[in-house]
Structure 1
Amino acid sequence: MIIFPVLILVSLVLYIYYKVMIFRSGDPLTQDYLNSKSKIFLGSFIFFFGINQYVFYQTKLSLFVGIVFVLIGVFQAHLGWKASQHYRAEYQKHQTRPQS
């Protein structure tokens, strides 16, 4: 199953990308929006890591740890998604506002 390590790596790279973009941005609204997007990818990283642990080891302990990781990942991604939707609307309002 090569798909889970690839998804883990892509999620980790995108998480790091958005965290670096937060430091490069000076606008607090943009920073909040990028932070919410990074939370989505952190949640997906934890989610796929939990699934991969169970698929790789297939023991009861890895099942329990995997379930905990999946739940934490889903929770983190859900919170990031909700925040991203909120900040996306605010960010679009901010972008359409005329600059003076």
Structure 2
Amino acid sequence: MIIFPMVIVFSLIAFVYFKVFQSRGYGPAQRQLYGAKASISLGIFVLSFGVNAYINYQTTTAAVIGLIFTALGAANIYFGSRQHRHFSPLAKEEKQQTA
């Protein structure tokens, strides 16, 4: 399947993009918001890597590694989205105060 390698590449590019913008943020809430977006992108990367490993190499070792990566990726996505929901209104308020 070609879909998982494409998701892996795009999520890795998004991770680097958000990490660069995290260092360029204009306030602490904005930096945390970009960090949360980077965490979600990293979670998508790890999750899709785990699913891809399981699908392509259907062995017991690949199943164990795939399950571990899938669990870690899902946890990263979950906690990153919680962090994003928390810091999104704070970043908007911070942006309005500076503008």
Q: What TM-score results when the alignment is normalised by the length of structure 2?
A: 0.93
Q: Structure 2 CA distance, aligned partners of 1:80 and 1:98?
A: 25
Aligned length, in residue pairs: 99
Consecutive aligned runs of 4 or more in structure 1 exceeding 6 Å deviation: none
State the identity as a percent.
Answer: 30
CA–CA distance in 2 between the matches of 1:27 and 1:77?
23
Q: Which moved more, 1:75-84 or 1:87-96?
A: 87-96
Work out the CA distance in 2 between the residues paired with 1:98 and 1:54: 48
For structure 1, list consecutive stretches of 5 or more residues without a partner in the other structure.
none
- Alpha-carbon separation, structure 2, partners of 1:98 and 1:65: 46
**Aligned residue number for residue 16 of structure 1:** 16
Deviation digits for residues 3-22 of structure 1 (CA, Å, limit 9, x no counterpart): 00000000000000000111
Q: Which amino acid aligns with 2:42?
A: L
Distance 1:72 1:98, change over 3 A: closer
RMSD of aligned residue pairs (Cα, Å):
1.3
Match in the other structure for 2:36: 36
> Which residue of structure 1 aligns with residue 25 of structure 2?
25
Q: Structure 2: where are the runs of 5+ without partners?
A: none
TM-score for the superposition, normalised by structure 1: 0.92
Amino acid at match of 1:5: P
Match of 1:58?
58
Superposed CA offset, 1:12-68 (max 9, x none): 000000001112224211111100110000000000000000111110110011000
